[in-house]
Amino acid sequence: MPYCAAGALGRTAAIALLAAVLWHGSAADWRPVSLGAAALALWMLYAFVSGIVGVPCNDIVARSVPSNRRSCLLALRFFGGGLVALAVAALAGHFVRSTEFPVSYAAVFGIAASLMLVSSVLFVSIREPERPGISEGAESFAANFRERRTAFRKDPRFRLFVFAQCSGNAVLIAAPFYVAAAADMGLDLENIALLLGAQTSGALASNLLWGWRGDTRGKLPLMRLVSILRLAPPLILLALLFLEMPHTQILIALLAVFLLLGALANGLTIAVPGLLMEISPEHCRPAYSGYFNALTAPAFVLPLLGGVVYATIGAEAVFFLSAVFAAGQVCALTPTRTKETL
C-alpha cells in the first residue's frame, strides 16, 4: 500500500501542478514555448508516477477480491467512472467555450486533480490484506530482474500472454485513423461527433456485460472473445474503403464500428488485468505485473508508424496491419491455459 499511496497521491500532485502552471503561465504571460515545455515535463512526470501505482493496485485488488468477482468489480469501476466522466466532459466543454486558453485547460486539470485526490484518499484508506508469503528471491533489482527473465522463459502461460498483448497493443496502430478515415469518406463534424458519442455509449453499455462474462465464463474465454471481436473494426473499415456505398449506409456502418470500438476498449481493460491476476503466482504478482507492462508497452508507439503508413501508402494499409495484429493476438491466446482451465 505505501507504493500505491505514493503513486496515487504523486500523480494527483502532478496534475495539480500542471493546472497551477497553466494558470500562472497565463497570468505571467509566459511564452508558448516555455508553457508547452513545462506542461510536457509535468505530463511526463504524471505518466511516470502512474506507472508506479498500477502494479501495487492490481496486487491489492487480487488479494482483496475473489477471482469470481473481480471482473464485475472492474466493470462497476469503469461504469461509474464513465458516468462521472460524462458530467466532467460537459463541465470541461463549458470552460473551453467560455474561457480563453490556457486558463480553460487549467480549470479542466484542476477538476481532474480534485477528483483524483478524492479517489486516492478513498483507495489508500482501504486496509491492505496480508500477503500469504513473500518470495525468497534476491533483494537487488538486477537479481530480481534476472529472476523475472527466467520466469518468462519457463512459464509458457505468461510468455504467450505477453506475446498476445504485444499483438493486441499493436492493433492500436489504426486507432487514431478511424476518425480520419470517416472524414475522408465525406462525414462532416456533426457526424463525427455522433460517431464519438457512439463510442462512449458502447463503452458504458458493455461494462456490466464484460464483467458478468468474465466472472461466470472465466477470464481466458473473455480475453479470447474480445480478441476475436477486435478483428471486426479494421475489417469493416477495409470493406468501406473498397466498396461504393451510399452516405447513409456508410454512416450506419461507422456507427456500428465506433460502438464496437468503445465496447472492446472497455472489454480489454477488464480482461487483461483479470487474466494477468489469474496466471501470476500469488507470491510474486507485483513483479509479474511490472514485467508484463514493461514488455508490452513498446507496442503502444506503433500509431506513430501508422501515421507514416497512412501518409505514404494509405488508410487501407493501416487497417490491414491492424487486422493482422488482431489475428496474431487471437492465435497467441489459443494455446494459453489458466488455473481455471487446467
Compute, in degrees rounded to 10, the torsion defined by CA atoms 105, 108, 110, 116.
-130
pLDDT at residue 140, rounded to an integer: 60
CB 58 within 8 A of CB 276: yes
What DSSP state is assigned to residue 257?
A: H
Assigned domain for 29 exists: yes
- Domain count of the chain? 2
Range 221-237 average pLDDT: 95
Residue 138 has pLDDT above 60, yes or no: no
Orientation angle between helical segments 247-279 and 285-296, nearest 10 degrees? 140
* Pair (165, 247) in one structural domain: yes
Which CATH number do you get for residue 165? 1.20.1250.20
Compute, in degrees rounded to 10, the torsion defined by CA atoms 171, 297, 57, 10.
-120
Give the span between the Cα atoms of 157 and 123, in whole angstroms: 31
Burial 324-337 (b: 16+ CB within 10 A, else e): ebbbbbbebbeebe
CB 14 within 8 A of CB 45: yes
pLDDT at residue 341, rounded to an integer: 46
Assigned domain for 132 exists: no
Expressed as residue numbers, the domain containing 15 is: 2-124
Give the span between the Cα atoms of 231 and 324, in whole angstroms: 8
CB 46 within 8 A of CB 113: no
* Pair (158, 68) in one structural domain: no
Give the CB-side neighbour count of residue 230, counting CA atoms within 13 A. Answer: 33
Range 281-308 average pLDDT: 82
Residue 9 has pLDDT above 50, yes or no: yes
If pLDDT is split at 50, 70 and 90, which confidence band does 130 have?
low
Of the two residues 262 and 138, the one the predictor is more confident about is 262
Which positions ≥6 away from 50 have C-beta within 8 Å?
7, 11
Give the span between the Cα atoms of 219 and 232, in whole angstroms: 21
pLDDT tens column, 163-201: 999 999 999 999 889 999 999 898 887 888 889 888 988
Residue 128 has pLDDT above 70, yes or no: no
* Pair (196, 302) in one structural domain: yes
- Per cent of the chain over pLDDT 90 is 26
Residue type, position 18, single letter:
L
pLDDT at residue 5, rounded to an integer: 73
Residue 254 has pLDDT above 90, yes or no: yes
Give the span between the Cα atoms of 341 and 16, in whole angstroms: 45
Residues in the chain: 342
Assigned domain for 129 exists: no
Considering the chain, what is the average pLDDT of its residues? Answer: 83
pLDDT at residue 132, rounded to an integer: 58
* Pair (116, 162) in one structural domain: no
If pLDDT is split at 50, 70 and 90, which confidence band does 94 have?
confident
Q: What is the pTM of this model?
A: 0.78
Residue 144 has pLDDT above 70, yes or no: no
pLDDT tens column, 14-54: 899 999 999 988 888 888 888 889 888 998 888 888 777 76
Give the span between the Cα atoms of 288 and 273, in whole angstroms: 11
Residue 85 has pLDDT above 50, yes or no: yes
CB 123 within 8 A of CB 4: yes
If pLDDT is split at 50, 70 and 90, which confidence band does 142 have?
low
pLDDT tens column, 311-324: 899 999 999 999 99
Assigned domain for 341 exists: no
pLDDT at residue 240, rounded to an integer: 93
Assigned domain for 259 exists: yes
Assigned domain for 145 exists: no
* Pair (110, 162) in one structural domain: no
Of the two residues 119 and 168, the one the predictor is more confident about is 168
* Pair (33, 155) in one structural domain: no
Task: Give the torsion sign (CA, 58, 62, 67, 70).
Answer: negative
Give the span between the Cα atoms of 71 and 65, in whole angstroms: 10
* Pair (164, 289) in one structural domain: yes
* Pair (73, 180) in one structural domain: no
Calculate Rg over the CA atoms of the chain: 22
